[in-house]
């Protein structure tokens, strides 16, 4: 379902009832509020694009239920809180775009468990702590952006 740039303001929780839906693009709208937990019911979803909106609050841990998900873009919103450890359950994930939000805390070491992950964009947040060495386990990783955070690169 491609509804980008339609000036939609809210994500209706009823979208969670579309269990056969494989793609949802609501990017470039006027979305505000939080991401409905009901989106975690979209078990057939392969790509979810909610980028370039004004979504706020945490990344819902219910997204862990999207077992078929390959592409997740929540970039350029106002999301806050930590990156959920539960994202490690998205074993098919190839692209994860969480850049340009207000995410805090450390980068979960569990992201290194995503062995199919090719793209990881976390730049432009408020992430802190060390870069977890476990990210090296994501052997398919081709693009990594951690810029504009408060990370300790531990050069010394």
Q: Is 6 helix (H, G, I), strand (E, B) or coil?
A: coil
Angle at 136 between CA 97 and CA 45, to 5 degrees: 35
pLDDT in tens, 114-151: 999 999 999 999 999 999 999 999 999 999 999 999 99
Residue 79 neighbours by CB under 8 Å, 6+ apart: 35, 55, 56, 57, 58, 59, 98, 101, 102, 103
pLDDT value at position 112?
A: 96
Q: Which of 45, 54, 111, 53 is nearest to 82 (CA)?
A: 111
pLDDT value at position 4?
A: 53
pLDDT in tens, 60-117: 999 999 999 999 999 999 999 999 999 999 999 999 999 999 999 999 999 999 999 9
Q: Which of 129, 91, 126 is nearest to 110 (CA)?
A: 91
Give the span between the Cα atoms of 25 and 144, in whole angstroms. 23
Q: Which of 110, 101, 90 is nearest to 45 (CA)?
A: 90
Give the span between the Cα atoms of 46 and 89, in whole angstroms. 14
Sign of the dihedral through C-alpha 101, 103, 109, 114: negative
The residue that leads in pLDDT, 134 or 13, is 134
- The answer to whether the predicted template modeling score (pTM) of the entire model surpasses 0.75 is yes
Q: Which domains does the chain have, with CATH numbers?
A: 13-152 (3.80.10.10)
């Amino acid at each position: 379902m491609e509804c980008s740039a339609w000036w939609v303001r809210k994500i209706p929780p009823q979208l969670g009832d579309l269990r056969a839906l494989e793609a949802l693009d609501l990017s470039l709208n006027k979305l505000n509020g939080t991401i409905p937990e009901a989106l975690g019911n979209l078990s057939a979803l392969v790509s979810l694009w909610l980028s370039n909106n004004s979504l706020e609050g945490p990344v819902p841990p219910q997204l862990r239920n999207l077992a078929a998900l390959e592409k997740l873009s929540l970039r350029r919103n106002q999301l806050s809180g930590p990156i959920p450890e539960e994202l490690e359950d998205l074993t098919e994930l190839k692209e994860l775009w969480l850049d340009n939000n207000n995410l805090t805390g450390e980068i979960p070491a569990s992201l290194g468990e995503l062995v199919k992950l090719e793209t990881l964009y976390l730049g432009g947040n408020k992430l802190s702590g060390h870069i977890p060495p476990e990210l090296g386990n994501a052997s398919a990783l081709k693009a990594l952006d951690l810029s504009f955070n408060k990370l300790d690169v531990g050069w010394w």
